[in-house]
């Protein structure tokens, strides 16, 4: 039997930090409200493109696995933030890494994109289509956030992380998955203004309206993640006390606590990053996984439960059995370009574009795919 072991991991967090107090300088909100309702204190705002964040995370994951970019068979770019629609973003990462053999796929199931990517790549390895894969979760939500809407603007952040999967005959990597979509509620989370439906209208990329029914999503998220976790554990013949670690999607601390309580798993076995990074959509799970590894909280042979949900409303719960190695084989020297602005300055640039006279974002975007190479 073939399995898909997780052999490398790496994150790339943009350095600029946007605090709750920064948000309160232009929104009718308070640090107290944000902290008590969400658990969030700060989030990151990127000064570079999503493809650059993804490529640096990918280079770090490859070095960790000791795998040369030239040996990568498959790149999955999981996320809802694409620099362009065509060419796709995974091919941009491929160029930056120098991975000529790879097949490159963009996969968008909103916040669950990394998890669906992990399931897809695992299936492709287990069926022999590819031998190794780079799976990335990445978001650059700050560029299409409606910064005038306090219901959503306080919740999200930017970031990226990646893992390397390699064919193995030991039973490790993803050993179970429940995937689904509560499509009847898809209108509860909608970003209007980006996509073909808006072509020809006099709007620029940053002009978005977010339809976001927070309380409805909250309830459905807790229910879907809890039920999917029960099902994936039952299918694997495991009980909650056999789960060593939970690495959940990070949308709200109260959602995470509710899912853990339903599963009967104490919070000291749950990885939480939402206070530092907010909701990074597809990037939350891989970033939390990388931080768990760096903090030595992943043990050899450990069982990890990964519940997630997002726009669609897609949901899932994955079960991963970790292998023997919990330390990196190598380190990449890939770095982002230096950031010379504060997070608030970066946000204010996007906000300026959202005025009724709609200036273009052209000045803000760093040149996309200047064929920067971050790989070996």
Q: Is 53 in the site for ligand UT7 (CB under 6 A)?
A: no
Alpha carbon distances (Å) from 120 to 4, 10, 77, 230, 314: 11, 19, 12, 21, 15
Residue 249 bears catalytic tag: yes
Beta bridge partners of residue 189, listed in sequence order: 212
The answer to whether 275 contacts ligand UT7 (rule: CB under 6 A) is no
Residue by residue, DSSP assigns 334-354 as --PPPP-S-HHHHHHHHHHHT
Of 200-208, 211-219, 256-264, 319-327, which part binds ligand UT7 (CB under 6 A)? Answer: 211-219
Is residue 111 a contact point for ligand UT7 (CB under 6 A)? yes
Q: Give the nearest distance from C-beta 101 to ligand UT7 in angstroms.
A: 34
Helix, strand, coil % in the chain, rounded to nearest 5: 40, 25, 40
Q: Is 33 in the site for ligand UT7 (CB under 6 A)?
A: yes
Q: Residues 20, 115, 249, 252: which is the catalytic one?
A: 249
| 248 lines the binding site for ligand UT7 (CB under 6 A) | no
- Rank residues 38 and 46 by Cβ distance to ligand UT7 and give the closer one: 38
Q: Which residue is nearest to ligand UT7, using beta carbons? A: 214
Read off the tokens for 312.
């669609």
Of 12, 111, 115, 181, the catalytic one is 111
Sign of the alpha-carbon dihedral angle for 347, 198, 281, 115: negative
Cβ partners under 8 Å of residue 112, min gap 6: 179, 249, 282, 308, 309, 310, 312, 314, 315, 316
Residue 279 interacts with ligand UT7 (CB under 6 A): yes or no: yes
Which residues lie closer than 8 Å to 123 by C-beta, 6 or more apart?
Answer: none
**Residue number, 8 or 286, with CB nearest to ligand UT7:** 286
348 is catalytic: no
Under the rule (CB under 6 A), what is the footprint of ligand UT7?
Answer: 29, 33-34, 37-38, 111, 150-151, 154, 189, 214-215, 217-218, 221, 251-252, 279, 310
Which positions are annotated as active-site residues? Answer: 111, 249, 279
């Amino acid at each position: 039997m073939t399995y898909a072991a997780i052999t490398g991991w790496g994150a790339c967090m943009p350095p600029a930090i946007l605090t709750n107090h920064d948000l309160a300088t232009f929104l009718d909100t308070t640090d107290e409200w944000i902290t008590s309702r969400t658990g969030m204190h700060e989030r990151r705002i990127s000064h570079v493109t999503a493809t650059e964040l993804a490529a640096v995370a990918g280079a770090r994951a490859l070095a960790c696995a000791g795998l040369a970019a030239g040996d990568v068979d498959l790149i999955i770019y999981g996320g809802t933030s694409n620099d362009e629609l065509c060419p796709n973003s995974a091919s941009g990462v491929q160029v930056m890494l120098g991975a000529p053999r790879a097949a490159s796929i963009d996969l968008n199931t909103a916040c669950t994109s990394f998890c669906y990517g992990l399931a897809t790549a695992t299936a492709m390895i287990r069926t022999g289509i590819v031998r190794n894969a780079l799976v990335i979760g990445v978001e650059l939500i700050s560029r299409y956030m409606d910064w005038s809407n306090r219901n959503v603007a306080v919740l999200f952040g930017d970031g990226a992380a990646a893992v390397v999967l390699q064919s193995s005959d030991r039973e490790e990597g993803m050993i179970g998955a429940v995937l689904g979509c509560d499509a009847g509620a898809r209108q509860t989370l909608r970003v209007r203004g980006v996509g073909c439906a808006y072509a020809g209208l006099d709007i620029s990329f940053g002009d978005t309206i977010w339809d976001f029914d927070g309380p409805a999503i909250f309830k459905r998220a807790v229910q879907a993640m809890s039920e999917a976790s029960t099902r994936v554990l039952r299918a694997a013949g495991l009980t909650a006390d056999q789960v060593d670690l939970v690495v959940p999607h990070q949308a709200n601390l109260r959602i995470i606590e509710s899912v853990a309580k339903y599963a009967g798993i104490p919070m000291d076995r749950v990885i939480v990053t939402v206070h530092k990074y907010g909701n990074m959509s597809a990037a939350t799970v891989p970033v939390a996984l990388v931080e768990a590894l760096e903090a030595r909280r992943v043990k050899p042979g450990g069982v990890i439960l990964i519940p997630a949900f997002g726009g669609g409303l897609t949901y899932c719960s994955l079960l991963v059995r970790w292998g023997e190695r919990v330390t990196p084989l190598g380190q990449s020297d890939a770095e982002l370009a230096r950031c010379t602005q504060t997070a608030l300055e970066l946000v204010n640039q996007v906000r300026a574009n959202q005025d009724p006279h709609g200036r273009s974002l052209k000045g803000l975007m760093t040149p996309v795919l200047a064929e920067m190479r971050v790989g070996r």
